[in-house]
Amino acid sequence: MQDIINKLINALGPNKVLTDDENLSRYARDFWPLLMMREQVLHEKIPKPLAVVVPGSVNDISLTLRIMNEYGGGIPIVVYGGGSSVTGASMGSGSIIIDITRLNKVLNIDTYDLTITVEAGAKLRDVEAELNSMGFSLRHIPQSFNYATIGGLIATMSSGQYSTLYGNVEDAILNLEVVLPTGEVIWLRRNTVPRASTGPSLKYLFVGSEGMLGIITKAVLRIVPLPKSTRYGSFTFNALNDGIKVLRELMIRRLVPAVARLYDEYESSIRFGVAKPTLIISFEGYYDNVIGVMWNEARRVIEDYGGEYAGEDYFENWLSSRFNVEEEIDRVKKLGLWFDTIEVAGTWSRLPQIYAGFRDALMRVEGVVAIMAHISHLYLNGACIYFTVLFKPIIETYWKLWDAAMNAVLVNGGSISHHHGIGMLRSKWVGKELGDAVKIVKLIKNALDPKSVMNTKSGMFFPDNL
């Protein structure tokens, strides 16, 4: 073990390979609620990584991977961006971390072709600030806005709060530079174009790959001019299913909102003090008259389905508090409870069953105290349901509730993850969702990473029980 660390130090220099306790502890965990609970509530020590490599260039990354290949695998390499994964995907225990956040430059912003070329370690927050100062935006705003990096967002297939109108991270990607597990540096295409049908879309090998097929080092992404016109408000419903029908109706009539979040009565009570399903919704664009027409037509549809207009305050309340993550965690801690969030997806016809099946299954798990949800990220065919579960901080309860949740979603025809990904957390259910297609992922993995140096040793994607 020490010999490989010495090799890395010799090749990269001591200031690019950290082995001191303070740094190792910093990279031991990500935002996986199980690890946070073990550390902050159960006062356990999370095992540390073996070393942290902080490359200053793509060449350093390539060199590191070549050295790891010579060593022959056996020690997982975990790429670390913002460390905001909530699934243990960037947890460093027992691994060699490659923290790519020194590669954080915006290389080019082209306001004519509407593209940005950026290094993958750049924080979304910084990239967005630079774009905003020029009147542009990625309009990809996840709740982890202040933590996440461009590479991490791509590697976890992230979805932002405005995804219904602007698409998810995969829709913004035009080109990527990646370092393959063997150390080779490759751009996925020579020319950046809006679309091409020259063979299978290679970007999808890396979107959602969670650091197991290579390291994303640069991205060319599409940008949009900042919207100039917006209308927003909220509506309450007597039943959640009426709200779900409204969301579907809006999507099929192409009255596509920028933000639409339909809270069930439980989450609505906590957020807004209303014990009724509540929809907050916004439309945005570039012309007041166009947005005005969309708003009026949407309001008509919503009211036809029994929605009752409830003013602008709830939307504004969400807008001003949407990044208050630490305060929310503190509130739960003070109740002597812990939490996790479980974001799943389904088609319109399945959403009511997934919602009901999930609640029903979790209410039976001893130690689960509350379940609440909102529906967001709309598509023509369905949407995401984002559950928050409060429970007594007991590890056994944690795994029981996850088991109940994943099985309830699969049995009712949904996907076990809409945007948080697999990580260490969901690996044992991936096979149940993908079926035989897991074989394809394994074949690709073996072809690109024959020595299995990247991430898989930690059990992600391919746990022994698959």
The contact set with ligand FAD (CB under 6 A) reads 30-31, 78-86, 89-90, 100, 120, 142-144, 147-149, 151-153, 155-156, 158-159, 210-211, 215-216, 325, 419-421
Q: How far is the CB of 189 from ligand FAD (least distance, A)?
A: 18
Does an H or E element contain 98, and which? strand 96-99
**Which residue spans within 19-105 are E strands per DSSP?**
51-53, 77-80, 96-99
Q: Which of 25, 30, 407, 19 is nearest to 211 (CA)?
A: 30
C-alpha angle with apex 131: 190 to 61, nearest 5 degrees?
50
Q: How far is the CB of 81 from ligand FAD (least distance, A)?
A: 3
Burial class (CB in 10 A: 0-12, 13-18, 19+), 404: buried
Give backbone dihedrals phi and psi of 362, rounded to 5 degrees, phi first: -75, -30
By C-beta, is 78 or 371 nearer to ligand FAD?
78
Sign of the C-alpha dihedral computed for residues 201, 76, 125 and 131 taken in this order:
negative
Taking the mean position of all CA atoms in its chain, how far away is CA 158? 4
By C-beta, is 213 or 310 nearer to ligand FAD?
213
Q: How far is the CB of 349 from ligand FAD (least distance, A)?
A: 25
Burial class (CB in 10 A: 0-12, 13-18, 19+), 320: exposed
- β-partners of residue 202 are none
By C-beta, is 154 or 291 nearer to ligand FAD?
154
- The residue of the chain with the least Cβ separation from ligand FAD equals 152
Q: How far is the CB of 158 from ligand FAD (least distance, A)?
A: 3
Q: How far is the CB of 335 from ligand FAD (least distance, A)?
A: 19
By C-beta, is 295 or 386 nearer to ligand FAD?
386
By C-beta, is 97 or 302 nearer to ligand FAD?
97
For the stretch 419-438, what's the b/e string if a residue is b when 16 or more beta carbons lie within 10 angstroms of its beta carbon? bbbbbbbbbbbbbebeeeeb
By C-beta, is 158 or 164 nearer to ligand FAD?
158
Q: How far is the CB of 149 from ligand FAD (least distance, A)?
A: 4
By C-beta, is 80 or 315 nearer to ligand FAD?
80
Residues whose CB is less than 8 angstroms from the CB of residue 191 and which lie 6 or more positions away in sequence, other chains included: none
Pairwise CA distance, residues 23 & 360, whole Å: 43
By C-beta, is 295 or 318 nearer to ligand FAD?
318
Continuous H helices in 41-149: 58-71, 124-133
Q: How far is the CB of 112 from ligand FAD (least distance, A)?
A: 28
Q: How far is the CB of 137 from ligand FAD (least distance, A)?
A: 16
Q: How far is the CB of 364 from ligand FAD (least distance, A)?
A: 28
- For residue 113, the 8-state DSSP code is T
Q: How far is the CB of 290 from ligand FAD (least distance, A)?
A: 28
Q: Which of 418, 380, 384 is nearest to 255 (CA)?
A: 380
Residue with the two structure tokens 């439980």: 266
Q: How far is the CB of 153 from ligand FAD (least distance, A)?
A: 4
By C-beta, is 30 or 128 nearer to ligand FAD?
30
106: left (phi over 0), alpha (psi -120 to 50) or beta: beta
Angle 438-448/427-434 helices, nearest 10 degrees?
A: 120
By C-beta, is 90 or 427 nearer to ligand FAD?
90
End-to-end CA distance of the chain, in Å? 29
By C-beta, is 414 or 423 nearer to ligand FAD?
423
Q: Which of 155, 104, 154, 156 is nearest to 130 (CA)?
A: 104
Pairwise CA distance, residues 265 & 245, whole Å: 16
Q: How far is the CB of 303 from ligand FAD (least distance, A)?
A: 29
Pairwise CA distance, residues 116 & 114, whole Å: 7
By C-beta, is 81 or 357 nearer to ligand FAD?
81
Sign of the C-alpha dihedral computed for residues 262, 157, 456 and 7 taken in this order:
negative
